[in-house]
Amino acid sequence: MKDIPQPLSSIKSPFLAEVTTFIRTRGLSYSTEKAYISWIKRFILFSRYRHRNQINARDIQLFLEHLVTTKNVSPNTQRTALNALVFLCREMLNQDTSLLNFKRSKRSTKLPEVFSHEEAMSIIRLLQYPCRLVAQLMYGSGLRVNEALRLRINDINFDTLSITVRNGKGNKDRKTLLSPHIIADLKHQIESVTALYKLDTKNGYGEVYAQTN
């Protein structure tokens, strides 16, 4: 699954495995880990590094300007790349990144189109189960896609009509509201996955993911 951290033993590059280990020891979220690893890979390919000793923080500004002049990325995208590479060079490799000077992206950011309540509900009604339930959780409780997909039974409190989101943005927990309109469907889903879990356990499966190095 895309939201399950990749075992370190499956990472072919020893250096990227080392970077991944360093990221995880800092307690960063898995979404941040994936973003950082992706940008670090692109930076290494762009700079044509062959060994970790070649990595130089001064090359960061060349890469960031390349993103603006060639790839026409948004300010947020460039900022994410900057954060990833500063993390690599400053935090992991102990290099000075204070003197970086590069052309910043100034591409205008368009405001997103926001659906009205009726428009959102008309779309949700067209979805099939269980995708509809995921969309209802996202819309009614303000969950992100990964947050809805990772939701556990213990995180749902029907008495207080609340949901606890674990390891959300910034690797933080938060509480949000549970819409009473989806309680019946949610309880049906819990009954279904509970029955599936019992069947899997009976057949020798049913274990949860555990990260191994």
**Mind listing the pLDDT tens digit for each residue in 53-72?**
999 999 999 999 999 999 98
Task: Report the CATH number of the 9-92 domain.
Answer: 1.10.150.130
Position 2 scores a pLDDT of: 59
Residues of each domain in the chain carrying CATH 1.10.150.130 = 9-92
- The pLDDT confidence band at residue 206, using thresholds 50, 70 and 90, is low
Choose among 167, 171, 164, 169: nearest CA to 141. Answer: 164
Under a CB-based contact definition with an 8 Å cutoff, are residues 61 and 101 in contact? Answer: yes
Please classify residue 23 by burial: count the beta carbons closer than 10 Å to its beta carbon, then call 0-12 exposed, 13-18 middle and 19+ buried.
buried
Helix or strand run (H / E) with residue 157: strand 156-157
**78-123 tens-digit pLDDT:** 999 999 999 999 999 999 999 888 888 886 667 778 889 999 999 9
117-202 has which fold? hpI Integrase; Chain A (1.10.443)
Residues forming CATH 1.10.443.10 domain(s) in the chain:
117-202
Residue 3 near residue 12, CB atoms below 8 Å: no
Per-residue model confidence as pLDDT tens digits over 152-173: 999 999 999 999 998 777 778 8
Q: In 142-182, which residue ranges form alpha helices assigned H by DSSP?
A: 145-149
Burial class of residue 185, CB neighbours in 10 A (0-12, 13-18, 19+): middle
